[in-house]
């Protein structure tokens, strides 16, 4: 149950991060600078006239919801803040290495190509970068991790079902005399099976409680550290953790009870 719950936590983390970042993605239109490598810039800074024309063209596009200009100093300050955890990377970058740009918020992120086509054709534009594509590659890796965790959890669930079934079968075999007597005195099948099913459910409940402790530990030591070290990952709230714990406990109890019931139908001769 702990692995199953951890898989659900990772899935919730990825889904929350997607919702958080996909609502904030922007298109960055970088302007020409002396450090630009594209032939269109010809190793020259963008002129004021070109910058004015670029801003006017971008503002008039119907796909643009918001347009913000970011000069070299602002870009460098944002770079230092974003990569504050990598001082060596920050120290190797100087103010002016990052060109000024226009940051565009789109009304519909799927309309990126229409805006990029117009921006690339403007004089003074170095390159156009869609942050959505960067996020897609990152979340593709995260999706792989979450499905790997769920696959491992599924294998563990199958193993748990087999273990519970075997335990209940042995218990029923050891009590075959008692169940035979109960049958002779007129006890119904449900009455005879119920103690075994309850034992399985209680075992599932105990396992779920132990899994809850491990899930809290996973949240503190794995999920929170991931959110702290990877900027693109949002913080997972305790409300989601509690919901996952409740689902894991209920799933564990139900799984063990069903496994006990199916095992009894096959192996308990009453």
Encode pLDDT of 154-210 as tens digits: 777 777 777 777 777 777 777 777 777 777 777 777 777 788 788 878 888 887 888
- Token readout for 155 is 């294998």
Which of 9-23, 126-140, 200-214, 237-251 has the weakest average pLDDT? 9-23
Dump pLDDT digits (tens) for 161-170.
Answer: 777 777 777 7
Q: Alpha-carbon distance 46 to 20, whole Å?
A: 34
- Report pTM: 0.52
- Token readout for 162 is 């087999």
Dump pLDDT digits (tens) for 36-52.
Answer: 888 878 888 888 888 88
Which of 22-26, 77-81, 266-270 has the weakest average pLDDT? 266-270
What are the Cα distances from residue 25, in Å, to 20, 29, 70?
Answer: 9, 13, 16
Average pLDDT over the chain, rounded to an integer: 77
């Amino acid at each position: 149950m702990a692995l199953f719950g951890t898989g659900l936590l990772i899935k919730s983390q990825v889904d929350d991060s997607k919702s958080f970042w996909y609502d904030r993605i922007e298109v960055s239109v970088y302007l020409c600078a002396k450090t630009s490598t594209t032939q269109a810039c010809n190793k020259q800074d963008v002129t004021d006239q070109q910058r004015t024309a670029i801003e006017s063209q971008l503002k008039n596009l119907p796909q643009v919801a918001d347009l913000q200009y970011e000069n070299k100093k602002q870009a460098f300050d944002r770079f230092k803040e974003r990569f504050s955890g990598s001082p060596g990377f920050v120290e190797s970058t100087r103010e002016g290495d990052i060109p000024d740009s226009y940051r565009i918020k789109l009304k519909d992120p799927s309309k990126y190509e229409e805006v990029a086509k117009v921006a690339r054709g403007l004089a003074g534009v170095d390159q156009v970068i869609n942050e959505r594509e960067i996020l897609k590659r990152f979340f593709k890796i995260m999706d792989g991790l979450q499905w790997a965790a769920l696959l491992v959890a599924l294998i563990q669930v199958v193993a748990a079902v087999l273990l519970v079934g075997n335990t209940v079968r042995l218990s029923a075999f050891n009590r075959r005399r008692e169940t035979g007597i109960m049958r002779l005195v007129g006890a119904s099948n449900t009455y005879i099976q119920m103690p075994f099913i309850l034992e399985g459910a209680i075992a599932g409940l105990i396992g779920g409680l132990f899994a809850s402790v491990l899930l809290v530990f996973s949240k503190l030591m794995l999920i929170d550290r991931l959110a702290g070290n990877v900027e693109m990952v949002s913080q997972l709230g305790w409300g989601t953790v509690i919901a996952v714990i409740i689902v894991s406990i209920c799933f564990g109890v139900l799984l063990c009870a069903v496994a006990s019931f199916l095992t009894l139908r096959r192996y308990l001769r009453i």
